[in-house]
Amino acid sequence: MATPSIICIADQGSIGFEYGRLEVSIVCAGDSLTGWNNNGPLQYWPFPTYPDVLQKLCEPLGLRVANGGIAGEVSDNGPKQVRDYVKLFPNARYFVVGMGTNDLAIVPDTATASRGIINNLDQMAQIVLNNGMKPILFNVPHVNEAVFPGHMVEIIRGKREYHNPRLRAFCADRGIPLADVCSRLSDNHFGDSLHPNAEGAQIIAATVFKVLNVN
């Protein structure tokens, strides 16, 4: 049996993508914490991403991963993204969705941003469930606080500390598995101000895989 290899949305239209998409078991949707498909093929991506590591973790299980991350994505676009991916990967069993980082950055009021993120994630989860697949969410990680001035760190951390508990409560209420990547990452796990380096990507993948492996 051939070793499964990851599939990226950036490769749509290629023969490999068209043959492989029906074999995908796990779809990873989200923003640049998931992937940089709008930058082009994988070799042009500026940082490693967790789905690539997740694919390696899933190889012994024979599961194939699709990376659908779009840099700059906000949760308002999430339902369409997930709806499109359900059609592209009709045999998937799991959808891993991580969104909210960009919303918290651009929406001035944290309560409004958090409410919007959770409402959009609710829609995404329902689309996944309605298609007989299982959603898994992960929360919004902290940033590399070492590169920000103190007053900004306080604001940024406060946004996560407001939103993530509400996301956890939502997931508990809906019975949706949640991977707590936020508590696992620290400053040395980032390649820049917000994006994980190789070690950070490994931590996110391991956290997601642990949740995936029991659901």
Whether the CB-CB separation of 3 and 56 falls below 8 Å is answered with no
Give pLDDT, residue 1: 47
Domains in the chain with CATH codes: 7-212 (3.40.50.1110)
Give pLDDT, residue 4: 75
Give residue 213's pLDDT band: very low, low, confident or very high (50, 70, 90).
confident
Give residue 2's pLDDT band: very low, low, confident or very high (50, 70, 90).
low
pLDDT greater than 90 at residue 109: yes
Give pLDDT, residue 215: 73
Residue (of 55, 80, 88, 14) closest to 212 by Cα position: 55
Whether the CB-CB separation of 47 and 195 falls below 8 Å is answered with yes
Average pLDDT (76-85) is 98
Whether the CB-CB separation of 65 and 55 falls below 8 Å is answered with yes
Extract the tokens encoding 103: 């919303």
What residues contact 141, with CB distance under 8 A and at least 6 apart? 33, 101, 160, 181, 182, 185, 196, 204
pLDDT greater than 60 at residue 180: yes
Task: List, for residues 160-173, the tens digit of each pLDDT value.
Answer: 999 999 999 999 99
Extract the tokens encoding 22: 């029906």
pLDDT, the chain, mean = 96
CA–CA–CA angle 37, 74, 123 (5° rounding): 105
Predicted TM-score of the model (pTM): 0.96
CA atoms of 187 and 175, how far apart (whole Å) = 31
Give residue 114's pLDDT band: very low, low, confident or very high (50, 70, 90).
very high
pLDDT above 90 covers a percentage of the chain that reads 96
Exposed, middle or buried by CB within 10 Å (0-12, 13-18, 19+), for 106? exposed
